[in-house]
Structure 1
């Protein structure tokens, strides 16, 4: 297993650095070695994960005459048979690797060789004599291969997408049609298009010839699809002999995938498919005749599972039951993914997959592969069996529609439990009066209109035809991408016994009753394992697999998800209707919505993918992953926020005598020295007076050690303590998660007409408008709205808040720049701010040394941001109008600077203003 890359159309001098960058960008695919070819206008790069013939098999591999050069990613399991056949034809081999067999087969049979390979592969063969490169991908598309041209006659290809972008010739841009189909139909990887505009994938069973003039000639090489159609047309009856043929084909497929010079393990979800693989290997290990086949497994089979204790989709009891049948010959390694660890891994997971994924389910597999990499290099699992043998519940409907006569009623009766599971969600929504919201209603209007004619038709009444489309187009290709990226991220080779050409042909040669019969799917597999698996697993009819408990996880991480949906970048995308998404998510969290978590995940995934690959394109020196970050820091960085500085040990708090960045104070009525004080986050229940005393005391203690000029500024005149009204409200518990506020119809309606600004949503959110209604009553809010509308008509601003009052003006909504939890919360004005100011002042006068306390002139509770200032309470000796000037341009609160307190010192009328932190700046007035 490896990573390959290359180009056609660049001279060797310029091409070699490009090849190294492309290889480095996928070093995780091949940490055991590297190799390069740059000759003429052709370049090839290879990163090797050594699995077979670790000493031989180095690539690029040259033919004996030097004309052909191969780079190859994958395994051909029937290479020994092909080697014997080629030897009989006169070819000689110098290594024990399948790589040499692949190249020799190409030399002997040309493109017809590809259909002789039973395995997984993506390869590039350079014909140095003709100056062209042939690409090919296995019949199922297990191994990926991407290509793109730069429009100037150069074509690039690689096992992953990032290597294409680090060339510097291909710019990552979103493919809007693919994004739409993903958001609207929950589909991707079904065509040659990718999520990146102009970048395509080689399709399963496809070959492409790249010529030196930039040409790309694609064609399908395989006869597998035609063979399946022919076999389905004249199927054999599913009888005892057919059962034997299926079981023999499955055993051969598993045995072939155990060939390895490195340790081999298995994935065990607890479902029928993976359990069948584990149990089959266990039986082989106990058979003397199969000893050579299972040597790579060792004396104890290493298996890996993801479990979710206490969750509905937990399969631990099935895993344990399978393990009990194997006793000491099986060691099960369990990973327990959690939503908190998901936040830690989220950015890496997004980068690993390179394109959006259908749900959070692949993350469970990601965790399994990470654990497996500590023990084995090769992993077998049951991927592909669902598409081969109708493992998903909707296949029952396809099966029923394809029946004729009285068989329909009988089959439907035997499938009643499955049909109930299919329909209960819709029934629950109906009984609970939950309105299902179509996904298209959450999309940007122009975006949805542009692609409104897109369709996703499916075969509805022919089970084999439906399975064939899902095997090669609609379902499995996406799962294979997840498998490839998750395994190779941790330098593990994944092998899939059910995706064996001989096994597929065997299934298609049989009557469809081998697939579904009498209400049981996967009939052939159940028959083949009746003596291997415990009844609890063998008789399972519920499909789960490697998934996550997404519903409960989204409740756990709802604040983090909301932060992203409420962000400015999400709102600026053409793909989403931000207001509709936020409302739908709030309804969902409150249990009254009709939108699935998978829908929210797709929107979330697109946004994070855009931030990772489009907003910040991969650097040219890309490669490798950095250290794991703390969960909250990780999600904020993914979300484009750097608010929680206290959680990141690399970010130091702002010194008390340094101003907030780019915040200068210019006041025409006088001069002030202003010192914003950094604090840790203030939470509900904290004693604001005690915190203020502590920080002010530290400030004056530090000031005694500062240069004389700073000491003079800090002590030159009367001083005041300005306190953010936000932290007072937070400490009083007057802050609420927006998803916990049930917004009424009036609140939802009125909030639509409120302008959101970069400094906050104000009442432009249904949750904050609902708080306003609860604070002062709906009549007053309606009167204020009417006054505001009249004011706009005559050019007067601010009438809304004059009528609504300061309590409404001080209501804040979630803002992207605020620190957690303010970024996902709504907040009321503090209760009795004058009394709070008096309490803080009394505490300061009682605690500070006399020389400082004597000049203390009072506390000011202020709502100050870049949009305006409003004094809510104070016990100072100056009018509000004068005090407001002290914060004409400098917000207080728990935003990026986390400065909810500020010492403000009144200066003499010197003709200059003083910048916070003690620096002098030009003054514009008296």
Structure 2
């Protein structure tokens, strides 16, 4: 795992100051503490920081092809690099190293952009072709590895693995995009179609860009997509056998490393499945670690401990408590952009714990998106059945009115909290799912914004890109479209961003075997009955793992890896909740009504409503603005 950065002049090539590239890579030192270098030529500069995982001594970067024509900087891992090298050797390629980086260079020279479909891995890389004078930027299928870009006033394009790499460039303007604030307040993160700073872009997952010195910058090109429009045929037994084979391949391919390796173990279905398959394939005990909480209802360490005992792992655990809130400024520095996923803090802590013993850790991320494991997906499938029975002309007045009149009773039993369900049923499937996925609904955002902020936003609402994505999805059903949105919108923007930044902050490589693209493509074509059965989501995966995991681990209610922020903000962190309305960074922006912020904090503290997620969002936004030193 590594950090990359570079500068490329579009139009008229100009000299590139190597010190600028070096400053950009220095900002990424945590991603690659084992070494780094910079290479420049007229019109281009590439920089690299290395965390050595494979071919530890033999693959320095920037890496030149044997013929000297191409130069590569690469962040990630190619899991099928050995097979790829064998194929390329048969085609005449020669190699000087034993790693995966040189395989990318040879694949590019053999197949051009088509090489991407042959790469099984997680990656973001840049290749400069000195003969064609082109720059090729590419990102993996799911967006496991990030890539930020910005066009600067001198005509250059700068890119880096994290926003902090671009922040090191003196020409970057630090002006906040108000549309990104709307996105962030809606989702709790800034999605990949936008950045918190105006002008900064993220290369979308499954896309590449090919840039030339003598042409205007070309837009990104999509090279991969997940297709939900097909359906597998066959019995449950046959599908389960295929799934187990793909699971084993995904896990085994990600255990290749020349450094110590382990796994995160939460005690849930996904991480327990990964550990079970790792134990099956290894002669040595698997290194596992887990994080617990000081709130018993949210603590899963007992389940993790049970799985660790069953498979004889070397297991360690640690507890997160409110005192860890002191690290909030460090979190803001890790993410650069505002990021309010409540599990970021414990994810960072478990990465710290893992790094004490290993350099690579496998996670269970991706299965909920691919196999329909989220409660919201199960609820959406049921809502779609209702929408199929009642036309919208009937649903809109009936359920829409109920949604407006029904009280928002966060304190009430689950069965009586029907407001969001009525609101969703009164809308289209896409609109309903966007509402269910959002953290802060549009009605509440409208109350929070000042008139000046409303004018800046105009007609834009953050749900619009998600709705458009679902409407254009290669899918047959509402459940298909919901899962497509989770894989393409939620996963890269939230889950993978969280894991990348928290793991890289401690120089740990995290790998996601359940995001093997063959496994996800298989899951996307499963019949509905193999994804959801009764109230159970992720059914075929659970059924398949019954041969290895205890029944109560597989079928207990999904809990999630969430910090007990709600309790903390009513207890030891009350002052943080009350102080958000008077925050200097937030109040100076003029975006929010301070009186309404204070009212929300009081409602939460006294238990009248649960505004923990929104308050946490505002706290993280405040810290991020301070970190960025950006203007509104």
TM range (shorter): 0.7 to 0.9
Is 1:448 aligned to residue 416 of structure 2?
Answer: no
Q: Deviations over 1:548-599 (max 9, x none)?
A: 111112122111342343234432222211111012101210112x352111
Partner of 2:544: 528
1:76–1:121 contact (8 Å) kept in structure 2: yes
2:16–2:40 contact (8 Å) kept in structure 1: no
Measured in 1, the distance between the counterparts of 2:3 and 2:62 equals 12
Residues 365-444 of structure 1: pairs in structure 2 closer than 5 A: 365-403=347-385, 425=410, 427-428=412-413, 438-444=444-450
Change (3 A) 1:204 1:273: same
Is 1:354 aligned to residue 336 of structure 2?
Answer: yes
Please state how far the C-alpha of 1:236 moved relative to its aligned partner: 1.9
Measured in 1, the distance between the counterparts of 2:386 and 2:577 equals 48
The match for 2:619 among 585, 604, 617 is 604
Please state how far the C-alpha of 1:28 moved relative to its aligned partner: 0.5
What runs of 5+ residues in structure 2 fail to find an aligned partner? 391-407, 421-440, 472-476
Is 1:31 aligned to residue 47 of structure 2?
Answer: no
Measured in 1, the distance between the counterparts of 2:378 and 2:418 equals 28
Please state how far the C-alpha of 1:62 moved relative to its aligned partner: 0.7
Partner of 1:5: 5
Measured in 2, the distance between the counterparts of 1:570 and 1:407 equals 46
Measured in 2, the distance between the counterparts of 1:405 and 1:192 equals 30
Residues 562-641 of structure 1: pairs in structure 2 closer than 5 A: 562-592=578-608, 594-615=609-630
Partner of 2:430: none
Q: Which has the higher contact order (CA 8 A, sep 6+)?
A: 2
Measured in 2, the distance between the counterparts of 1:431 and 1:122 equals 47
Q: Secondary structure at the match of 2:547?
A: coil
Partner of 2:141: 139
Q: Deviations over 1:412-439 (max 9, x none)?
A: xxxxxxxxxxx98474599899999823
Change (3 A) 1:426 1:218: farther
Change (3 A) 1:427 1:445: farther
Change (3 A) 1:214 1:307: farther
Partner of 1:193: 194
1:146–1:157 contact (8 Å) kept in structure 2: yes
Partner of 1:222: 223
Measured in 2, the distance between the counterparts of 1:269 and 1:468 equals 25
Please state how far the C-alpha of 1:533 moved relative to its aligned partner: 1.1
Please state how far the C-alpha of 1:7 moved relative to its aligned partner: 0.4
Partner of 1:124: 126
Partner of 2:263: 266
Please state how far the C-alpha of 1:248 moved relative to its aligned partner: 0.3
Measured in 1, the distance between the counterparts of 2:387 and 2:168 equals 60
Measured in 1, the distance between the counterparts of 2:578 and 2:387 equals 52
Q: Secondary structure at the match of 1:438?
A: helix
Partner of 1:541: 557
Measured in 1, the distance between the counterparts of 2:387 and 2:631 equals 59
Partner of 1:330: 313
Is 1:315 aligned to residue 300 of structure 2?
Answer: yes
Measured in 1, the distance between the counterparts of 2:453 and 2:415 equals 30
Q: Secondary structure at the match of 1:520?
A: coil
1:235–1:508 contact (8 Å) kept in structure 2: no
Q: Deviations over 1:836-889 (max 9, x none)?
A: xxxxxxxxxxxxxxxxxxxxxxxxxxxxxxxxxxxxxxxxxxxxxxxxxxxxxx
Change (3 A) 1:332 1:430: closer
Is 1:277 aligned to residue 265 of structure 2?
Answer: no
Please state how far the C-alpha of 1:213 moved relative to its aligned partner: 5.4
Please state how far the C-alpha of 1:440 moved relative to its aligned partner: 2.6
Q: Deviations over 1:716-748 (max 9, x none)?
A: xxxxxxxxxxxxxxxxxxxxxxxxxxxxxxxxx
Q: Secondary structure at the match of 1:517?
A: coil
Please state how far the C-alpha of 1:497 moved relative to its aligned partner: 0.6
What runs of 5+ residues in structure 1 fail to find an aligned partner? 286-290, 292-298, 409-422, 618-926
Please state how far the C-alpha of 1:450 moved relative to its aligned partner: 3.5
Please state how far the C-alpha of 1:452 moved relative to its aligned partner: 5.5
Measured in 2, the distance between the counterparts of 1:378 and 1:477 equals 22
Partner of 1:675: none
Change (3 A) 1:348 1:198: same
Please state how far the C-alpha of 1:190 moved relative to its aligned partner: 3.2
Measured in 1, the distance between the counterparts of 2:387 and 2:164 equals 54
Residues 663-702 of structure 1: pairs in structure 2 closer than 5 A: none
The match for 2:248 among 248, 251, 260 is 251
Partner of 1:173: 175
Measured in 1, the distance between the counterparts of 2:241 and 2:337 equals 41
Please state how far the C-alpha of 1:508 moved relative to its aligned partner: 2.3
Please state how far the C-alpha of 1:260 moved relative to its aligned partner: 0.2
Please state how far the C-alpha of 1:11 moved relative to its aligned partner: 7.6
RMSD, aligned α-carbons = 2.7
Measured in 2, the distance between the counterparts of 1:163 and 1:332 equals 35
Please state how far the C-alpha of 1:391 moved relative to its aligned partner: 1.6
Change (3 A) 1:520 1:428: closer
Measured in 1, the distance between the counterparts of 2:102 and 2:418 equals 64
2:243–2:544 contact (8 Å) kept in structure 1: yes
Q: Secondary structure at the match of 2:298?
A: coil
Measured in 1, the distance between the counterparts of 2:338 and 2:103 equals 36
Task: Give the structure with the higher percent helix.
Answer: 2
Q: TM-score, length-normalised on structure 1? A: 0.60
Please state how far the C-alpha of 1:492 moved relative to its aligned partner: 0.4
Measured in 1, the distance between the counterparts of 2:89 and 2:339 equals 45
